[in-house]
Structure 1
Amino acid sequence: MSGIRTLLKRFQSECETSDQHEDKELQSRYYKSMHQGAFNAVLGLFSSSEYEVISQSKDRGEITVRKNGTPQLFIVATVITVRPLETAVDFKVSADKGKIFGTYTVLKAQINHYYHQLDGELKKVK
């Protein structure tokens, strides 16, 4: 049964992070940062011309982005202050169109790319 579930997961058109995610790479990341600093770092991920920031709300800690090019993606980044100097960052990425071999691995790689960039800018909470 696990093999079928893995195969079906490959064709999912969205991927998101969470605290209790079964995949360690897709668990929420926590950074030693004030809300404003983490929010600006996440917003900076989408500063290139291939991204279009649709909306941003500092109060809710939410940034909505469209990635143009291949593949076209819709991204929701959430920045939540857990404690003073501890901020959680989560992503939800969905694809407009599927691929023959599935899109889930592409979406997961995109999330890992964003986390890798944030890890270089912000200090992770252990």
Structure 2
Amino acid sequence: MSFGKKLSRFFYNRAETSDKHWDKELQTHYYKTTKDKGLAALQDLVKRSNKFEINSVSTEHGEISFHIAKGKKAFIIATVIMVRPYQTAIDFTVSTESALPFDFGYSSKVIKQLYENLNKELPLIDKN
């Protein structure tokens, strides 16, 4: 990862995960579970935390949207996709609500914390 890419992460107010992301910590995580169980685990994780509030859940689309209610505000969309039987991908998109056009890497930090918590709940297969 080049210095320019590391520096650029601080000058955006949005971060998202993908299969081939240049930052290894922001690559899609794959879990050994079904879509429904992955979505349920994610929903439980959000409900247990007093930091988050759920906006909506779409089980048929495998999406949950929630926001950070305490501290620095951010809006999060999590997508749960079953790639193969018992191989489910979970991706995040985080947009920080701020008066500034950048968040100093806060949105990336939120994704990393969500993945850390999910790794405790679900068996991680691969980050790809």
Q: Distance in 1 between matches of 2:97 and 2:75?
A: 7
Paired letter, 2:116: H
- Per-residue deviation, 1:7: 3.7
Aligned residues: 124
Give the TM-score, by structure 1 length: 0.88
Note the 1:69-88 alignment, pairs <5 A.
69-88=70-89
Distance 1:5-1:26 versus aligned 2 partners, 3 A rule: closer
Find runs of 4+ consecutive structure 1 residues off by over 6 angstroms: none
Runs (5+) with no aligned partner, structure 2: none
Q: Distance in 2 between matches of 1:104 and 1:63?
A: 25
Note the 1:94-109 alignment, pairs <5 A.
94-97=95-98, 102-109=102-109
Q: Distance in 2 between matches of 1:123 and 1:5?
A: 30
Tell me the SS of whatever aligns to 1:97: coil
Distance 1:10-1:58 versus aligned 2 partners, 3 A rule: same
Paired letter, 1:10: F
Q: Distance in 2 between matches of 1:19 and 1:7?
A: 21
- Per-residue deviation, 1:6: 4.5
* Native 8 Å contact 1:13 1:98 kept in 2: no
Paired letter, 1:88: A
Identity %: 36
Give the TM-score, by structure 2 length: 0.87
Distance 1:121-1:3 versus aligned 2 partners, 3 A rule: closer
